[in-house]
Structures are given as C-alpha cells and as structure tokens.
Chain A
Amino acid sequence: MSQNSGFLGSSIGKKIIMGATGLFLIAFLVVHCFINALIFFNDGGLTFNVGADFMAHNWLIRAGELVLFAGLILHIVQAFVLTMANKKARPIGYDKIDGTANSKWYSRSMGLLGTLLLIFLIIHLAHFWVKSRFTGLPGEDANGHENLYAVMQETFKMFWVVALYVLAMVSLSYHLMHGFQSAFQTLGLNHKKYTPLIKKAGMWFSILIPVIFSAMPIAMNMGWIK
C-alpha cells in the first residue's frame, strides 16, 4: 500500500520531522563545538581563524548553512504547530497535576527551553554570524585569515554576555537531555539492548557539549586564553 499522501500531516509524521531535524541540529552542534574549541590552542586565535575562514568561504559549507537554517526553521515551526494542536487536545485543564510523579520537568518544558534557546540564538547570530557574513570583520590576523577571534574577544569582554551565554547553555543542556534520546525513540529506534546506551550517551552529550561551549566565553572573559 502506498498511502504516503497524509504522512507529513499526520501526528507521527510531524513527530518524525521534529526528531529528524533535532538530530540534524545535534550533528551541527558537534561541528560548531569542535571548530570553536580551536580557540583553546591559545595561539591568539590563529588556528581558530583558519577554521572560521574555511567555514565562511567554502561553498559546500555555505550551501550547508542554508540547509541548516531550513532545518532550524522547520524544527521551530513544527514545534509551534504541535504545541498548538496539543493545547487544543486538552481544552479544559486539570486543577491539580502531579507532574513530577511520572516525568522529568525538562521533558515537559521543551517548548519553554526551546524558546529561551531561540532568544539566545537571535542574540548570538547578531554577535557573530551577522558580522562574519554581512557587516564585515575587523581586519585579518597574522596569517591573513579573517579575524573572527578578535570579535569573540571583544564580545566576551562584557560580563552580561558571558552570563547570558552560560545560562543559554544550561537551557541547551536540558533541551538536549530530553531531545537526544527522544529523537531516537521517535524515529522508532528503540531496543532493549541499545536504548539504555543511547540514553547514557545522550546524557553525557547533553552535559559535555554545553560545558565546552560555556568554557569559551568564561575562559576569554577571565583572560585564561589570550
């Protein structure tokens, strides 16, 4: 039978879109995190700028960037559509709900955590992406690469920016804590042997990635890396 006309309109189709785009964004986080971690060479950003320059000018990466934005927007729009439908599914709420008895608070708060991340993302894009792609960067480094590192140093001098980034990473951590393992479940990848491994890997991923990201503004602000 080939009745795939209603797939994207169905509840399961929408869930699968959420899970698939979520995993795609997780893959992006890994790349983003490791390239940014080049700042920890502590060589005045020379190594980091090689990576940043490549990411900014390689045509394959730039094309990938469009796919990334498409995935991100799909994830956000789908979340909004699903949330609206879910609100409609329970027009009269309960007087008393004992949520902690049967689920984790962050599993129930994905919309809130996601909204916080979206606000952060807009500020974050304004800090770096807009400058790198549109308004231009302040000159080049010793090797002749675009100096995105200098923008980082400048931005992370402000304490409120560092605080904002760290708080956003806390949101990210909890968003991933649910999202990582949930994406596998949604795609039907549930197995007695492997699901506990996926959950464990998801937990470590949700801690490590935000910790590495948080270390960047903190280290720059404190002057640990120059």
Chain B
Amino acid sequence: MSHGNMNLTLKVWKQKNKNEKGRFETYDAKGISPDMSFLEMFDVINEQLISSGKEPIAFDHDCREGICGMCSMYINGRPHGPKQGITTCQLHMRSFKDGDTIVVEPWRSAAFPVIKDLAVDRSSFDRIMAAGGFVSVNTGNAKDANNILINKDDADGAFNAAACIGCGACVAACKNASAMLFVSAKVSQLALLPQGQVERKSRVLNMVKQMDEEGFGNCTNTGACEAECPKGISLENIARMNREYLGASFT
C-alpha cells in the first residue's frame, strides 16, 4: 500500500477498430493519488492526452459504483485487477506500489470483439438473454407482492444468481473463454422461482444453444470464473444449469 502520490507505467492495449490488429502502448502515469479509483487514473491520463493533442484511451464505464458491469479491464492478468469481489471502478490505486508497471488489456473472447482499445462488444450476452432470459407475465393489475409463497432457500438462491451484472469477467477469466457462469446465473435465477416455470425447459435449451452459437468456449470447471466474479456468483449455478439441460433434453 502506498502513501503519497505514485508514478506508474501503464502498458495499455490500443486498437482502432475490430478489424485492426492492435498493439500495446506505454503511458507514464505521474502523480497518481492512491485514493483514486483505477478509472479515475484513466481519466487523468486521458485529460493529459487530450490536452497534448493525442488520442485518449477508449474504455467502457458507466455507474462507477460497481453495479453496472461496464468497466471491462483485464489488469495484470486478472479481470478487474488484483482484488476479489470488485469491479474496476471499485479498484483503488492504493492496491499498487510506486514504480509499478500495470498491463491493461480488453476482455479476450471471440464472442467479445474489440470495438476500440479496451471497449469490447458484449451484445452476445444480450442475444443469449433474448433467447430465453425472460418470463411471461399476464398484463393487468399488479398482483399482491406476497401472493405466491416461495421457499426461503429458493428465494435466496434466485436472488444470489440475480446478482449477476453481466460484466463478462467470467468469460475473461476462463482459460476457455466460456460463458457458463453468466448463462447459468440467468438460467438459475428464473428456474428457481415459480414465475419461471412456464418456459423452464425451452429457456435452458435456447440459452445454451445461443451461447454455443456465439462462439463461447466450454467449461472445464477450473473455477476461475467464480473466483473472479465481482458479485460472487457460485459454481453451483453451473451444476444447476447442467441438471436443467439434462432434464430438458431428455424429458
């Protein structure tokens, strides 16, 4: 942990568009406060780049409070950097030391093409959701909130799965670029609740089919996704998805 401002060297992936090859570029980050977030450091560097007439580094970000999942940065060999259970915006510069060299890369996956620099196109996740990540609800008056009784364990399980923010760190961390933690969280969230029963079988079949079509890899249970997930989504969900898939395929 550092006190006082730090001088760092950044090795950042630069790529004009999805067709260009891309390369690393080195930037000096001078006078970085340990209280800054990792994204704020990028803001500082970009300000400097812009004022000296150079092109800033493109990166995704939105809420900057760890709930939107946009800040996709692969920092020093890990998605969202060296800390567990956080997104990049929640990573603070006090996690680094003065003089460190930090390597920043985009998520690497055939299903996440680079848009520019560190920003990747995660619409493959949207297409997986569109394939089955929904429930049918009749329109009309809103029902009383506690009309349908739900077992506490199931409610908790569904809630924990629903914590997934779709950031794609599981894909980035996986040595096979597999999206199974994401898909299993979305399948589990709805499979555990009574409202999700209508489309239960078609959901898992369609979402897995879409996942395969998008070109994600296959899970080998290394557990890297679970370890790197900022929302602590459990591998139990992948086992549940496998059960759901087996059941849906053969019944």
Give the interface of A toward B (CB within 8 A).
Answer: 1-4, 6-7, 10-16, 82, 85-86, 88-99, 101-104, 107-108, 110, 178, 181-182, 185-190, 192
**A101: B residues at CB distance < 8 A:** 77-78, 82, 227
Quick check: A1 and B248 within 8 Å, CB to CB?
yes
Quick check: A178 and B77 within 8 Å, CB to CB?
no
Of A14, A94, A97, A192, chain B has the most CB atoms within 10 Å of the CB of A94
Q: CA A98 – CA B209 in complex, angstroms?
A: 31
Contact of A188 among B77, B215, B246 (CB under 8 A): B246
Quick check: B220 and A89 within 8 Å, CB to CB?
no
Contact of B105 among A96, A110, A186, A190 (CB under 8 A): A96
**B74 in the interface (beta carbon within 8 A):** yes
Nearest neighbor of B220 in chain A, beta-carbon distance:
A110
Quick check: A186 and B228 within 8 Å, CB to CB?
no
**B212 in the interface (beta carbon within 8 A):** yes
Q: CA A88 – CA B109 in complex, angstroms?
A: 9
Quick check: B242 and A188 within 8 Å, CB to CB?
yes
Closest Cβ of chain A to B212, distance in Å, is 5
Chain B stretch 167-185: residues in CB contact (< 8 A) with chain A:
173, 175-178, 180
**B161 in the interface (beta carbon within 8 A):** no
With A1-B201, A187-B242 as given contacts, are A86 and B218 in contact (CB-CB < 8 Å)? yes
**B64 in the interface (beta carbon within 8 A):** no
21 A-B contacts (beta carbon < 8 Å): A3-B205, A3-B248, A6-B209, A10-B209, A12-B246, A88-B215, A88-B217, A90-B176, A91-B110, A96-B105, A99-B224, A101-B227, A102-B223, A103-B175, A103-B222, A107-B220, A178-B222, A182-B221, A185-B235, A187-B242, A189-B239
Quick check: B238 and A185 within 8 Å, CB to CB?
yes
**B103: A residues at CB distance < 8 A:** 95-96
Quick check: B208 and A102 within 8 Å, CB to CB?
no
**B212: A residues at CB distance < 8 A:** 10-11
Quick check: B239 and A182 within 8 Å, CB to CB?
no
Q: Which 6 residue pairs spanning A and B have beta carbons closest together?
A: A98-B77, A190-B239, A89-B217, A188-B243, A102-B227, A86-B176
Closest Cβ of chain A to B249, distance in Å, is 4
